[in-house]
Amino acid sequence: MSETVRIGTRGSKLALWQAHYIAELLHKGGLKTEIVTMETKGDKILDTPFAEIGTKGLFTEELEEKLNAGEIDIAVHSAKDMQSELGEGLEIISYTKREEANDVVVSFDKKFSLSEANEVLVGTSSTRRRAILKHYYPHVKVTEARGNLQTRMRKMEEGKFQAMLLAYAGVHRMNYNEYIVAKLPLDVFTPAVGQGSIAIESSSSVKREKREFIRKLTNDVETEFCLRAERAFLRKLQGGCSIPVFALARLEKEKLVIDGGIISLDGKEMIRENLSRKKEEAEQLGIQLADKIFSMGGDRILREINNLK
């Protein structure tokens, strides 16, 4: 295939790393690429918490407009930034192999510990991480930390907060591993849906053969099974960045296992469940988990959160 693949991406260093990573996978398959950068609403509004902005398409809307206009062939996203429902004619055609999905504590103080952090501020832009911190570490003070990773690291260096909670994948890809003081356990800080994987979105207007070839070169089958289940769970809950839901699926031979739930904004109430089904029933598993969480009181927590918006 001689056509050039136009790759749409945000302009942050991490987003560009992801775009170039996808470009390299395509180059190995003999495809030429062109990277097209743009700003999204999430990049422009940095002084407002996610919960107050309204997060539908916060980091994807402008990229999807370019897809719909035929100006790019694919858009590259952090899978955790993808809204639960896509617009008509748009689809996620592949997921890259998942990086470690853990949250991590990052600090310039090598001795920093959440369990001993009585008089310090921890920065995070995630409602999920904020709520889980309140649940397990109610003594820790939390403050908003928006911006790209380099901006947030600079804010921490300036003393705006003493530590941050971040996704391991982004920290690792930006070579900040030396500042990781703790890798948080997955059964405590269960990650956001899709955390650690890169999602490739395309439009049905792109030639099917081209989309299928891009998928062949970039998709990781095991990760796809897991994210299909996680995203079905998110879609059923109608969750987004402003809703503190979490889910992580894994393959155990031919069985797909998912652990997920929801937590109240004040961290006082957490509902979680663990279910499994055949891997071919990934979407059904995600929906089943959502229904179970609803039946355990998750619907009430979701209503309370939505009523605060």
Catalytic residues, by residue number, are 81
Separation between Cα atoms, residue 161 and residue 152, nearest integer Å: 10
Burial of residue 156 (number of CB atoms within 10 Å: 0-12, 13-18, 19+): buried
- In the block, tokens 């920093």 appear at 112
Among candidate residues 273, 279, 271, 266, the one with its CA nearest the CA of residue 305: 266
Separation between Cα atoms, residue 14 and residue 16, nearest integer Å: 5
Helix/strand/coil for 308: coil
Helix/strand/coil for 262: strand
Task: Say which residues have a Cβ less than 8 Å from residue 204's Cβ, sequence separation at least 6.
Answer: 89, 90, 91
Separation between Cα atoms, residue 18 and residue 157, nearest integer Å: 25
Report strand pairing: 255-263 vs 245-252: antiparallel
Report strand pairing: 180-183 vs 103-106: antiparallel
Q: How far from 255 is each of 95, 281, 283, CA to CA, in Å? A: 19, 9, 13
DSSP states of 140-186 as a string? SEEEE--S-HHHHHHHHHTTS-SEEEEEHHHHHHTT-GGGEEEEPPT
